[in-house]
Amino acid sequence: VVSGGLILTMDEQGTCLRGEIAIREGKIVALGEALAGVETAERLDASGCLVIPGLVDGHTHAAMACFRGVADDLPLERWLTEHIFPLERRCVDEELVYWGSRLACLEMVRGGITAFADMYFFEDQVAWAAQEVGLRALLGEGLLAGPSPAAQGPQEALQRAEAFIDRWSGHQLVHPSVDPHAVYSCSEELLRQASEMARRWGVPLVIHLQETRQEVAGARDRWGCTPLQYLERLGTLEGEVVACHFVHVEEADLELAARRDLRVIHCPESNAKLAAGVAPVPEMLEWGLVVGLGTDGPASNNDLDLFGEMNFAAKLHKVVRGDPTVLPARQVLEMATRQGAQALGLPGGVIEVGGAADLVVVELGAPHATPLHDPYSHLVYAAKAADVRDVIVNGRLVVRNHQVLTVDEAETLERVRRLAARAQRS
C-alpha cells in the first residue's frame, strides 16, 4: 500500500485524489480513501509527496551512456559519420552494451522513469540490464542495410531480431519490437521484411522518421515523397508503427499519420542539440495522434531525464508558436505518462484499478519545490529528477529514499568508467 500522498492518476479526466493505492502481484487492486480491509504486507508513506504514474521514456539508445559527451556541438551528419559510427565499430560489444544499459537504467529509474523504449545492438544485454534493475522496456535489435557491431549484414541482423523476439515474448517486463534504423539506412527489401516480421509476431515496428530536413529531401529525390509516404507505399504502415522524432512533417503526413494511427515519440532536446528542428507537436495533438516523450540516446541529449525533457518541451513549443497557451503542463505530463505508454503499447502510464503498479513518489521538501499550488505546473516547471524519492515498477520497490535497491550502483559506475577509458584509447 502507498498512502498519504496527493495522487495524480493521469487518467483522461485528470483525476487527482488523496488516499491509498493497494498493490498486489504487480497490479493496482484498489485506489481511494483509507482502504478498509486491505491486508498490508508493506506500507510506503508518501505523506507530503506527489504520487504519479511512472514516466515513460519513449526513445533511447541506453548503452550510448558510455559515449556521453564524447562529441558535442556538431551537425547530425558529422556527429554520426565522424564520431559515433567509427566509435561504435571499434568498441561496441556485449560487455559495453550491458554495462552502458545498466548505467542508463540506474539514471532513468532514479529520475522516475519506469519504462523505456530502446533500439541498439546486442539487445539481449539491454534486456538483461532492464530486467535486473527492474524496469519495463520495449526493446528491438537495430536493423541496418550494412554491417553493424552485432551483424555482418541485414539478413544476420533480421535473424538476431527474430531470435530476440522469440526469446523475450511473454516476459513480464521486457517486450520485443522490430527496429529498422531509418528509411535512409535500410533497403526497401529490409523495410518490407522488418514490417512483415513485426506483424507476424504482433509487435510494434519502431523507426527514426523524418528527423532532419536532409532525410526528407533525400526521400523526395529518390522516391518523390516523404519517408512516411514511402513507408505507406511499401505497405509497412499496416501494423503498429512508432515513429521517433517526426520533425519535418507536412499536412499530408499528419493526415496519413492520423489515418494509420501512427504513434509518435517527440525528442525535443536531442532535436535541439543536433539542430534537427522542432516537431509540430501541437498540430499532431490536434490531429489526435498519440505522442509520447523521449530523451533519445545519452550521446545526443546528454542525459536521460524526462523532467528536463518535459520542461523543455513545454517551453519550446510556446516560443515556436509565439503562444504561451500551447502544450500546458498537464498535457506535457500526459505525454510523459499515459500517452507514452499508449504509444509503445506497454502497461502503465495511468494510476487505475487493474492497471500496472508503476508508480513514482516525488518529494516536495526542497526550496525549488515550495510552495505547492498546482501539481502539474510543479512537476513540469519546477520539479527535478532528483526530487524522485521512491519508485515502484510492476509492484516491486526499485528505488527507496533515492537509493536503487536492485543492483550495485558503485560497481556499475566503476565498470562504465573503465569501458569509457578503453573506448578513448581505441
Rank residues 296 and 309 by Cβ distance to Zn ion and give the closer one.
296
**Least Å distance between CB 107 and Zn ion?**
17
Q: Which residue is associated with the grid cell 527474430?
A: 162
Rounded to a whole number of angstroms, the minimum distance from the CB of residue 182 to Zn ion is 9
Give the nearest distance from C-beta 297 to Zn ion in angstroms.
Answer: 6
Nearer Cβ to Zn ion, position 185 or 339?
Answer: 185
- Taking the least distance from each CB to Zn ion, the nearer of 237 and 243 is 243
**Exposure of 287 by Cβ count < 10 A (0-12 exposed, 13-18 middle, 19+ buried)?**
middle
- Which residue number, 21 or 62, has a Cβ lying nearer to Zn ion? 62
Compute the distance between CA of residue 197 and CA of residue 163 in angstroms, rounded to an integer.
11
CB of 318 to Zn ion, least distance (A): 25
- Min separation Cβ 266 and Zn ion, Å: 12
The residue number whose beta carbon is nearest to Zn ion equals 296
Provide the binding-site residues for Zn ion, judged by CB under 5 A. 296
> How far is 56 from 117, CA to CA, in rounded Å?
8
Q: How far apart are CA 24 and CA 28, in angstroms?
A: 6
117 vs 254, beta carbon nearer Zn ion: 117
Which is nearest to 364 in space by CA: 377, 354, 353? Answer: 377
| Location of C-alpha cell 554491417 | 147
Whether 262 contacts 243, CB under 8 Å: yes
Tell me which residue has cell 535500410. 186
Query: For residues 296 and 305, which CB has a smaller minimum distance to Zn ion in the complex?
Result: 296
Closest distance to Zn ion from the beta carbon of 362 (Å): 27
SS3 track for 379-411:
HHHHCCHHHEEEEEECCEEEEECCEECCCCHHH
Minimum Å gap between C-beta 171 and Zn ion is 23
3-state helix, strand, coil in the chain (%, to 5): 40, 25, 35
Min CB(243)–Zn ion separation in Å: 11
Q: How far is the CB of 86 from Zn ion (least distance, A)?
A: 18
Place of cell 522524432: 245
Q: Angle at CA 229, nearest 5°, toward 225 and 233? A: 105
State the cell numbers at 426: 581505441
Cβ closer to Zn ion: 20 or 296? 296
Q: Which is nearer to Zn ion, 7 or 198 (CB)?
A: 198
277: left (phi over 0), alpha (psi -120 to 50) or beta: left
Residue (of 163, 97, 160, 170) closest to 130 by Cα position: 97
Cβ closer to Zn ion: 80 or 106? Answer: 80
